Amino acid sequence: GFPEASTIWKDGELIPWKEANVHILSTAVQFGSSLFEGIRCYGTPSGPAIVHLDGHLRRLLDSCKMYRVDVPYSAEELAAACFDVVEANGLHDGCYIRPMVLRGYGAVGMDGKGSPVECYIPAWKWGAYLGADAFSTGIDCCTASWARPAPNTFPGMAKAAGNYNNAALIKMEAQANGYVEAVALGSDGMVSEGSGQNLFVVRDGEIATPPINGSNLQGLTRASALQLAAEAGVPVRIEPIPREALYVADELFFTGTATEVMPIASLDRIAIGNGRRGPITERLQQRYQDIIHGRSEDVYGWMSLRGGG
Ligand code: PMP
């Protein structure tokens, strides 16, 4: 559950968790106009380190720009606020940080004109999103019957609360049918992503992943996996992937901030490879884990420490 004894950064102040409330008629509640991020912080030998902090805040400000939401804070101010929240709540051993920019209470109409822009940064302890065992066993997934949004309907590149109505349908369908997660297709029928993670396909020692095409989020963990694939000398193709290519893959894995690097053991009850975590997935997963936990040098500059570095 949520740590109700803790504090949340709200527009420059730390306020009690229980006071971080909005009115029922806030534009964000009525119309989904909330832009947000999901960031992880890990306890490392050098102190709490936030993964891809600049990238997440840039994506947050980009999401706001797409939705014509003017944010009165710079990325630097928001970065400092993220560290404030970690420190104020004693979350040095690691946590999940959820910056949110939303249209508050005031406007009657969906344009939100007259509603104040409010910015909140809660954080809480959050373990392995899809279960700790799954890092080695992999997860059972299905193909979602719901497609991801078509390009030019609403922006897939924005991390907007409204997008997660689609993601929730995908996730709920998977769980209702006994799966952990789902792979969703785009409106073109080609592979898009999971409900909250990007997808990678391994076959014959090469990696493929779908392009960022308006149906999916430009994941920061996806970018990390691409760096680690290059480091490992594994060729990568970014290309449209038909659904059937997934069933005959040697390995499939998801990437995401919450999910980290997660093997997929089966898709639609078809075993992927031998139905276990494959060697390329394992290698990238280990490297990712070692860097984020501070066990290996941060050679790609993913990690932010308070006061720079
Ligand atoms: N796709 C969706 C829909 C997501 O919600 C997420 C999680 N933010 C991702 C992909 C992965 O992105 P990231 O690696 O930046 O967390």
The pLDDT of residue 222 is 99
Q: Would the CATH topology of 7-124 be identical to that of 134-292?
A: no
The CA distance from 77 to 186, in Å, is 36
The pLDDT of residue 1 is 81
Rg (CA), the chain: 19
Total Cβ atoms within 10 A of residue 136: 11
pLDDT per residue as tens digits for the range 66-89: 999 999 999 999 999 999 999 999
Domain boundaries, the chain: 7-124, 134-292
Nearest atom, ligand 1, residue 224 CA? 14
**Measured from the CB, is residue 155 less than 6 Å from ligand 1?**
no
Q: What CATH code would you report for 7-124?
A: 3.30.470.10
pLDDT per residue as tens digits for the range 28-60: 999 999 999 999 999 999 999 999 999 999 999
Q: Among 266, 285, 284, 275, which residue's Cα sits nearest to residue 180?
A: 266
Residue 307: which pLDDT band, with cuts at 50, 70 and 90?
confident
> What percentage of the chain reaches a pLDDT higher than 90?
97
Nearest atom, ligand 1, residue 37 CA? 8
Nearest atom, ligand 1, residue 56 CA? 15
The pLDDT of residue 20 is 97
- Å from CA of 182 to ligand 1 middle: 14
- Is 182 within 8 Å of 174 (Cβ atoms)? yes
**Measured from the CB, is residue 103 less than 6 Å from ligand 1?**
no
- Å from CA of 105 to ligand 1 middle: 28
**CATH pick for 134-292 out of 3.20.10.10, 3.40.50.720, 3.40.50.1000, 3.30.9.10:** 3.20.10.10
| Annotation says 113 is catalytic | no
Q: Once rounded to an integer, what is the mean pLDDT over residues 260-284?
A: 98
**Measured from the CB, is residue 37 less than 6 Å from ligand 1?**
no
**Measured from the CB, is residue 193 less than 6 Å from ligand 1?**
yes
pLDDT per residue as tens digits for the range 228-250: 999 999 999 999 999 999 999 99
pLDDT per residue as tens digits for the range 91-143: 999 999 999 999 999 999 999 999 999 999 999 999 999 999 999 999 999 99
- The complex's ipTM works out to 0.99
**Measured from the CB, is residue 220 less than 6 Å from ligand 1?**
yes
Tokens 């490879």 sit on residue? 273
Q: Once rounded to an integer, what is the mean pLDDT over residues 198-210?
A: 98
Q: Once rounded to an integer, what is the mean pLDDT over residues 129-158?
A: 96
**Hey, whose CA ends up nearest to atom 10 of ligand 1?**
197
Q: For residues 219 and 1, which has the higher predicted lDDT (pLDDT)?
A: 219
Q: How many residues are present in the chain? A: 309
**Measured from the CB, is residue 192 less than 6 Å from ligand 1?**
no
Q: pLDDT averaged over the chain?
A: 97
- Å from CA of 25 to ligand 1 middle: 28
The pLDDT of residue 309 is 56
Does residue 194 have a pLDDT over 60?
A: yes
**Measured from the CB, is residue 197 less than 6 Å from ligand 1?**
yes
User: Among residues 18, 65, 159, 171, which one is catalytic?
Assistant: 159
Residues 6+ apart with CB under 8 A from 173: 142, 144, 145, 146, 182
Q: For residues 302 and 2, which has the higher predicted lDDT (pLDDT)?
A: 302
